Chains A and B, each alone.
Chain A
Amino acid sequence: DAGVIQSPRHEVTEMGQEVTLRCKPISGHDYLFWYRQTMMRGLELLIYFNNNVPIDDSGMPEDRFSAKMPNASFSTLKIQPSEPRDSAVYFCASSLANWGGGSEQFFGPGTRLTVL
């Protein structure tokens, strides 16, 4: 298996532009997670899906952020409009069904977003 695939790997955009990050989870995994990582705040969970259904989006910073999972093999995280404070590395991860807390999460390589 190729693992979790994310695209693009790097994105540089200007403030106010729309940004779309893409993720292909590992085939057969039930859970998909979107994280944001910065030096100041560490790894923050933004939203996660179970069987393509959003379960908890309480980590999404504000209405400018949205995520979708139209099918089991694809998810997007969209920021519109983007702001400089959104600059971070965004990770997608997937895992098998949770066995009561703490199934191994498999992370993609991340998308480094820079908003100028």
Chain B
Amino acid sequence: TQLLEQSPQFLSIQEGENLTVYCNSSSVFSSLQWYRQEPGEGPVLLVTVVTGGEVKKLKRLTFQFGDARKDSSLHITAAQPGDTGLYLCAGAVAGGGADGLTFGKGTHLIIQP
């Protein structure tokens, strides 16, 4: 089983600040997904990155897949209270079937107004 470690586990910052959260593993993944989960709801996919070094932007969110496809980061610019939630990364292994999708434990993010 591939392990994904996310850091920090908890982060509380003021509105308007920038932040970066990390997703690291010793395993190589064919793709990596980021999900966001709001209280009382299930996770919702934000982005999938598939190429080493790939950078994708979603408004104020920037996702990067490491060159070696073992790690990823999520950077949020000018955080807003609506960004509050649990951010989960999930790595997939090519040919691993549906069980190749391994979730990290997540980063709990709170943006204070």
| A interface with B by C-beta (< 8 Å) | 4, 31, 33, 41-43, 45, 48, 50, 55-56, 91, 93, 95, 98, 100-105, 107-110
Bound-complex Cα distance A50 to B100 (A): 14
Bound-complex Cα distance A4 to B45 (A): 14
B99 and A55 contacting across the interface, CB-CB below 8 Å: yes
B44 within 8 A of A: yes
Bound-complex Cα distance A78 to B104 (A): 26
B42 and A56 contacting across the interface, CB-CB below 8 Å: no
B95 and A100 contacting across the interface, CB-CB below 8 Å: yes
A101 and B96 contacting across the interface, CB-CB below 8 Å: yes
B101 and A101 contacting across the interface, CB-CB below 8 Å: yes
Please choose the segment from B16-24, B52-60, B76-84, B85-93 that sits at the chain A interface, where 4 or more of its residues have CB less than 8 A away.
B85-93
A98 and B98 contacting across the interface, CB-CB below 8 Å: yes
B113 within 8 A of A: no
27 sampled A-B residue pairs with Cβ under 8 A: A31-B98, A42-B104, A42-B105, A42-B106, A43-B43, A45-B99, A45-B101, A48-B98, A55-B99, A56-B97, A56-B98, A56-B99, A91-B42, A95-B98, A100-B30, A101-B31, A101-B92, A101-B93, A101-B95, A101-B100, A102-B31, A102-B100, A102-B101, A107-B41, A108-B42, A109-B42, A110-B42
Bound-complex Cα distance A109 to B41 (A): 5
B94 within 8 A of A: yes
Given contacts A42-B105, A43-B43, 18 further A-B contacts (CB under 8 A): A33-B98, A41-B105, A42-B103, A43-B88, A56-B97, A91-B43, A98-B97, A101-B29, A101-B92, A101-B101, A102-B32, A102-B48, A102-B101, A105-B101, A107-B41, A107-B42, A109-B40, A110-B42
Q: List residues of chain A with CB within 8 A of the CB of B72.
A: none
B99 and A110 contacting across the interface, CB-CB below 8 Å: no
B64 within 8 A of A: no
Q: List residues of chain B with CB within 8 A of the CB of A91.
A: 42-43
Q: Which residue among B31, B91, B95, B105 has the maximum number of chain A CB atoms within 10 Å of its CB?
A: B105
User: Which residue of A has the minimal Cβ distance to B102?
Assistant: A45
B43 and A107 contacting across the interface, CB-CB below 8 Å: yes
The 4 closest A-B pairs by CB, nearest first: A102-B92, A107-B42, A42-B105, A101-B92
